[in-house]
Amino acid sequence: MPIIKSAKKRQKTARKATIRNFKTKRNLKSALKTLTKKVNHKNFSSVQSNVDKAVKKHLIHKNKAARLKSKAAKNAKKLGLKIEKKSKVSTPKKKK
């Protein structure tokens, strides 16, 4: 149990961040599962946006994000979905 005020605050913010990160990861996993069950443009764009959000929040590495998006596109194309190419994965700004 923390005694110092700053340690108490850090524990509180860490709890909030854990919940937020868990929600983002859960959304990503569910989007990937729904894409494998039913392939359409809405599900495909949902996967791409959830992957980009996870990268932006530093939950997954940008190379993993590129790999996931590529795999999703490959599977979607195999099942007959026409995919339009968009820009690269957005890289998060570096902290100073």
Q: Can you give the residue ranges of every domain in the chain?
A: 5-77
Task: State the DSSP H helix or E strand holding residue 69, giving kind and residue range, or none if neither.
Answer: helix 62-78
User: For residue 89, is pLDDT > 70?
Assistant: no
pTM: 0.74
Q: Give per-residue pLDDT as tens, 16-63.
A: 999 999 999 999 999 999 998 988 889 999 999 999 999 999 999 999
**Range of lowest pLDDT (6-10, 16-20, 88-92):** 88-92
Q: Give per-residue pLDDT as tens, 61-83.
A: 999 999 999 999 998 888 877 77
d(CA 19, CA 35): 24
Fold of the domain spanning 5-77: Methane Monooxygenase Hydroxylase; Chain G, domain 1 (1.20.58)
User: Which letter, b or e, does each residue of 4-31 get, where b requires 16 or more Cβ atoms within 10 Å of its Cβ?
Assistant: eeeeeeeeeeeeeeeeeeeebeeebeeb
Q: Which amino acid is at 74?
A: K
